[in-house]
Amino acid sequence: MATPPSPPPPPAPATIFDLGDDLLSQILVRLPALPTLVRAACACRAFRRAARSFPSFRRSFRERHAPPVLALFLEPNMEVVPLHPCPWRRHDPDLVAADFFDVRHGDALSSGWKINSETPCSGGYLIHDNCSEGAQRGAAYSPLTQVLDLFLDLPPVGKIYLEFYTLLPEDGRRPSRVVCVRVDGQRAERAAVFSSDTMEWQIFPETTLQLTVSDRLRASGVVHGLVYWRGWMYDQIVVLDTATFQFSLIDLPTPLKPELGESTYKLGETKDENLCIVDIKDKTIVSWFLDNCSVVNSWITYKNFPLRPIVRELTGCSMEEEDYCNVNVDLVAVIDGFVYLCIFYLKDTEYRELYLSICLETSDMCELYNGAYRHNEAAHPYVMAWPPSLVQSKQEESETEDDDPKDTEETSSVLIAALQSFSQALMNADKEKEIVAELDAFLRPTEDGKGSLISRISTLDAQMTAARNRILRINE
């Protein structure tokens, strides 16, 4: 009798390596937060390849998750308030206690550029002074947004302000850029751009628009490739399009045009990357988005959120007239379709502050922090940037992937390269040579190499990077 054939061996069990990049990307996009995704990319090359292989992955991940706001920095001393819920961090006492920028005592004996002891922070910028060489010079740098302002005083030319905005590409395939805007006294003059691809500056002609700067202290920012200034033109927003480098003016929505007092609105963008504007009117959050499809820019009413039920639900306090003195609501920021608010309130004889986010698209609310009032003047969110190493560049498509996803290209390196070559670019431009000597004095290295403005920028960015990487390495 013939021996029956042996049964075939059982199929090998499927492993993670048998899944294609498409399926892996669908798994990774459902991870709870960006730091969790970074840790997954560290654990497995297949995970990392899947997160980098599809240009649409980043957009899909952003659509599913709130912006990765790691902490709030509070003026005037840039105290850090870690926010919750933080699925990537249960508790980090070092982060809570850290004096991130040595605002209180770190610059007491330093030479060269140092943080101003009387006004260390304003508008999210760390204010720096340099009284050496018989002249007093001032600069302001935001390590949260990598924006630098230089204040030049050039008799008899007058005051000149240079604003540097660092723009990182969203797709990882275009070069990083630094945009500089020159403001002469009370008038915006011209723009220039530095590209990390060519390592050269391009200076554009003066604008023909009469851009009067009514208040140098009003906020500026960058939203989806647009540099904007609110409050310069009273009832208009000044915008610089970094694709065309043309200045333009956008009228405010009629209900927000100021009458008396200061404007309180915040600019941001929706999840689908439309410019939006949010304010508080009559105890209601009101919002508009800019219709980019129309021939003339027009604001379209978006969503409104009555504050009375929100405040009562979260604090137990009332916003009615008899109790309103015990409650105050401030707008903090608008980021990727989320509105961030702070509620100051009196509860059982204790003043408290509560920070929350509201999704403009879904109306979902999330409480981020609720604790004793810290006597701060303003709050600035720190949003973790998408790591460049999780975006596959053209060069890397054909190369082996050996680098650590946490070892990202730091923004300050692009800004520093731009600053170091700016003087030479001005020498070749008409009407700019008069500021070269003063600019060189701003950027001149000190004898010990520690007190220069460029070294200050590097140090501040290194502190932010160290804090970010510490958070990324903390296990749940």
pLDDT per position as a tens digit, 47-95: 888 888 766 788 788 888 888 887 888 888 787 777 755 544 445 544 4
Average pLDDT for 29-35: 83
Considering the entire predicted model, what is its pTM?
A: 0.84
**Tokens describing residue 228:** 């904007």
Checking if the pLDDT of 166 tops 80, the result is: yes
**Tokens describing residue 174:** 């275009």
Tell me the per-residue pLDDT of 391-446, one tens digit each, with 9 for 90 and over: 665 555 444 444 444 444 455 688 999 998 898 888 776 666 678 888 888 888 76
Residue 217 CA: distances (Å) to CA of 78, 149, 419, 426: 18, 11, 23, 26
Amino acid at 296: V
Q: How much is the pLDDT for 201? A: 93
Query: CA quadruple 337, 38, 31, 354: dihedral positive or negative?
Result: negative
**Which of 363, 378, 393 corresponds to the end of one domain?**
378
Amino acid at 94: D
**Which of 222, 251, 280 corresponds to the end of one domain?**
251
Distance between alpha carbon 408 and the CA centroid of its chain, in Å? 16
- Tell whether 420 is covered by a domain: no
Q: How much is the pLDDT for 90? A: 46
- The SS3 call for residue 277 is strand
**Pair (233, 338) in one structural domain:** no
**Pair (54, 71) in one structural domain:** no
**Pair (123, 229) in one structural domain:** yes
User: Token pair 């850029």 is at which residue?
Assistant: 177
What percent of the chain has pLDDT above 90? 15
Q: Give the range among 118-127, 165-174, 340-349 with minimum mean pLDDT.
A: 165-174
Q: How much is the pLDDT for 427? A: 79
**Pair (280, 360) in one structural domain:** yes
Q: How much is the pLDDT for 251? A: 87
Ranked by mean pLDDT, the top range of 141-155, 185-199, 285-299 is: 141-155
Mean pLDDT of the chain, nearest integer: 78
Tell me the per-residue pLDDT of 258-298, one tens digit each, with 9 for 90 and over: 665 567 889 998 888 888 999 999 899 999 998 876 556 78
Phi, psi of 27 (to 5 degrees): -75, -45
Residue 363 CA to residue 438 CA, distance in Å, equals: 50
**Pair (58, 188) in one structural domain:** no
Segments forming the whole domain that contains residue 55? 19-65
Residue 129 CA: distances (Å) to CA of 101, 117, 153, 199, 207: 15, 9, 13, 29, 31
Residue 383 CA to residue 98 CA, distance in Å, equals: 18
Total domain count for the chain? Answer: 3
- Tell whether 320 is covered by a domain: yes
Residues 6+ apart with CB under 8 A from 99: 105, 106
Q: How much is the pLDDT for 2? A: 67
**Pair (35, 95) in one structural domain:** no
- Tell whether 423 is covered by a domain: no
**Pair (301, 365) in one structural domain:** yes
**Pair (283, 374) in one structural domain:** yes
What percent of the chain has pLDDT above 70? 76
Distance between alpha carbon 228 and the CA centroid of its chain, in Å? 14
Average pLDDT for 9-25: 77
CA proximity to 193, closest of 236, 163, 170, 221: 163
Q: How much is the pLDDT for 346? A: 87
Angle at the Cα of 395 from the Cα atoms of 393 and 398, rounded to 5 degrees? 110
Q: Would you place residue 34 in the very low, low, confident or very high pLDDT band (cuts 50, 70, 90)? A: confident
Checking if the pLDDT of 476 tops 90, the result is: no
CA proximity to 358, closest of 297, 302, 401, 406: 302
Q: How many CB atoms lie within 10 A of CB 299?
A: 20
Amino acid at 257: K
The alpha-carbon radius of gyration of the chain (Å, integer) is 25
**Pair (122, 97) in one structural domain:** no
Residue 48 CA to residue 38 CA, distance in Å, equals: 8
- The SS3 call for residue 151 is strand
Query: CA quadruple 425, 427, 429, 433: dihedral positive or negative?
Result: positive
CA proximity to 140, closest of 462, 473, 457: 457
**Pair (371, 332) in one structural domain:** yes
- The DSSP call for residue 388 is G
Of 19 and 196, the structure prediction assigns the larger pLDDT to 196
**Tokens describing residue 399:** 């190369």
- The DSSP call for residue 212 is B
Check if the beta carbon of residue 263 is closer than 8 Å to that of residue 230.
Answer: yes
Check if the beta carbon of residue 271 is closer than 8 Å to that of residue 259.
Answer: no
**Tokens describing residue 223:** 């939203």
CA proximity to 120, closest of 99, 134, 136, 135: 99
Distance between alpha carbon 91 and the CA centroid of its chain, in Å? 24
**Pair (156, 285) in one structural domain:** no
Sheet holding 275-281, edge to edge: 266-269, 275-281, 284-291, 298-306
Check if the beta carbon of residue 378 is closer than 8 Å to that of residue 123.
Answer: yes
Residue 82 CA to residue 87 CA, distance in Å, equals: 12
Partners of residue 266 on adjacent β-strands = 278
Could you please report the per-residue DSSP string of 316-357? S---STTTGGGEEEEEEEEETTEEEEEEEEEETTEEEEEEEE
- Tell whether 405 is covered by a domain: no
- Tell whether 340 is covered by a domain: yes
**Which of 349, 378, 407 corresponds to the end of one domain?**
378
**Pair (118, 201) in one structural domain:** yes
- Tell whether 129 is covered by a domain: yes
- Tell whether 347 is covered by a domain: yes
Checking if the pLDDT of 104 tops 80, the result is: no
Q: How much is the pLDDT for 398? A: 44
Q: Would you place residue 343 in the very low, low, confident or very high pLDDT band (cuts 50, 70, 90)? A: very high
Checking if the pLDDT of 193 tops 80, the result is: yes
Partners of residue 224 on adjacent β-strands = none
Residue 372 CA: distances (Å) to CA of 83, 156, 353, 355: 14, 50, 6, 12
Residue 353 CA to residue 74 CA, distance in Å, equals: 12
Residues 6+ apart with CB under 8 A from 163: 147, 148, 149, 180, 181, 183, 220
Of 105 and 62, the structure prediction assigns the larger pLDDT to 62
Residue 394 CA to residue 206 CA, distance in Å, equals: 35
Check if the beta carbon of residue 348 is closer than 8 Å to that of residue 283.
Answer: no
Checking if the pLDDT of 33 tops 70, the result is: yes
Q: How much is the pLDDT for 264? A: 82
- Tell whether 336 is covered by a domain: yes
- End-to-end C-alpha distance for the chain, whole angstroms: 63
